[in-house]
Amino acid sequence: MKYLFFLIALISFGASSHCYISNGAETYVSGDELKLNNMKGNVVNISNFKFTHKPICRNLFDMGGETVFSIEFPRETYYVYHADAGDIYLRATFSSDPAHILYDKKNSFTEMDIGKINKAEITLTFDVVSKATGVSQNAKNINEGIQIDFIPEKCFSTGCLFGHDNTNHYYRVTYIPQITQMTKTCRFNDGVLTAPAVTISDLNNNASRYLKLEPTSGNVSFICNKGLSSYSFKYHFESESIQGNILKNEYENEYGGAGDVGFEISLNGSQAINFSAGNSSSYDLLNFKDVTPEEQRVNLNLYGRYVVYGQNIRPGKVQSRVKVVTEYE
């Protein structure tokens, strides 16, 4: 019986070692600024939490567990920020300094310094991720807040009696970031491309070949502004005056026009861009892995060749228009 009594005493001491929070759980809302300036490694440190309910701790005869608050981070890893120019998806990682809050061991329940919790520093790191990875299904709206809890080790048995129960006790930081960022968008600069002259003999003999089209007006390029994106960018061509893959001549029936002579255009100088119902397929402009925070310029290099699409052929001018449309997922 002597040994049995000793064992029960140890369990009782262990159950008597814990912390609880005067007046119960408390929540603090942090609105610190989060600057999204980079595709990876956007860091914000939050601290100075302004909690007022003091922790009360006891470790009876130093025979029990630690009087400690653990720091619990969200299970959510992915968040979405609904920006005006498109959603930005973020992967979050969390750390803290210190890793947990340890209080002195006292033989009786004693008020502890809430400043140890208020001064803890939480580090949140955000990387921009691609929506194409499927994260959108599990991403939480970041404006609903990110919760970090300081939780005391659970009390057991007799240690929870007489108002010392710490069930549902926690200090909760709800971080609702004030986000500053620029969303990357891409636009196309209009321009004029010119093809070298060709002879009617070459046209009749189907000898026209693809030649590099040189800009004579405008930059003929895509401009993607400074900013971040969770998307890949693409583009396609559209034309309201097309026959098969041939861009028809705007001057086919006008004085000075070359009649039924138009253009086929190509991105590689060997294969025509295919059109269906006036629209081409989509082509890669800027893949997600290549997106940077800086302004990005992508030149559009086109090749063209003259193509006869009717019987009316004469010396003259050939001009066709095609619309370049940028798109993102």
The per-residue pLDDT for range 31-86, each reduced to its tens digit, is: 999 999 999 999 999 999 999 999 999 887 665 556 899 999 998 899 999 988 88
Q: Which of 125, 160, 181 is the last residue of a domain?
A: 181
For residue 239, tell me if it sits in a domain.
Answer: yes
On whether residue 3 sits in a domain, the answer given is: no
pLDDT in tens, 294-304: 999 999 999 99
Tally of helices (H runs) and strands (E runs) in the chain: 3, 30
CB count within 10 Å of CB 164 equals 16
User: What pLDDT, on a 0 to 100 scale, did the predictor assign at position 328?
Assistant: 80
Q: Which pLDDT score, from 0 to 100, does residue 267 have?
A: 97
**C-alpha–C-alpha distance, residues 273 and 265, integer Å:** 6
Same domain flag for 233 and 165: no
Across 56-70, 106-120, 233-247, 276-290, least confident range = 56-70
Give, as one character, the DSSP assignment of residue 147.
E
Cα–Cα distances in Å, from 157 out to 57, 104, 161, 322? Answer: 16, 22, 8, 79
Residue 1 lies in a domain: no
Clarify whether residues 153 and 226 are in a common domain: no
Residue in 122, 220, 133, 223 with CA at minimum distance from that of residue 174: 122
Alpha carbon 80 to its chain centroid, in Å, reads 7
Do 143 and 289 reside in the same domain of the chain? no
Q: What is the pLDDT of residues 262-303, one digit of tens each?
A: 999 999 999 999 999 999 999 999 999 999 999 999 999 999
Domain co-membership, 162 together with 216: no
Residue keyed to tokens 């402009």? 285
Range of the domain at 18: 8-181
Indicate the residue among 155, 181, 207 that finishes a domain.
Answer: 181
Please check whether residues 118 and 208 belong to one and the same domain. Answer: no
Which of 181, 215, 232 is the last residue before a domain boundary?
A: 181
pLDDT computed for residue 7 by the predictor: 42
What total number of domains does the chain contain?
2
Average pLDDT over residues 93-106: 93
* H helix or E strand, kind and range, residue 202: helix 200-204
pLDDT of residue 66: 67
Same domain, 260 and 206: yes
116 and 65 together in one domain: yes
Predicted TM-score (pTM) of the model is: 0.85
Q: Which residue has the higher pLDDT, 153 or 136?
A: 153
- Check if the beta carbon of residue 307 is closer than 8 Å to that of residue 204: no
**Sole residue written with tokens 């089209």:** 213
| Residues 33 and 176 reside in one and the same domain | yes
Is the peptide bond prior to 315 cis by the omega test (within 30 degrees of 0)?
Answer: no
Local confidence band at 14 (pLDDT 50, 70, 90 cut-offs): very low
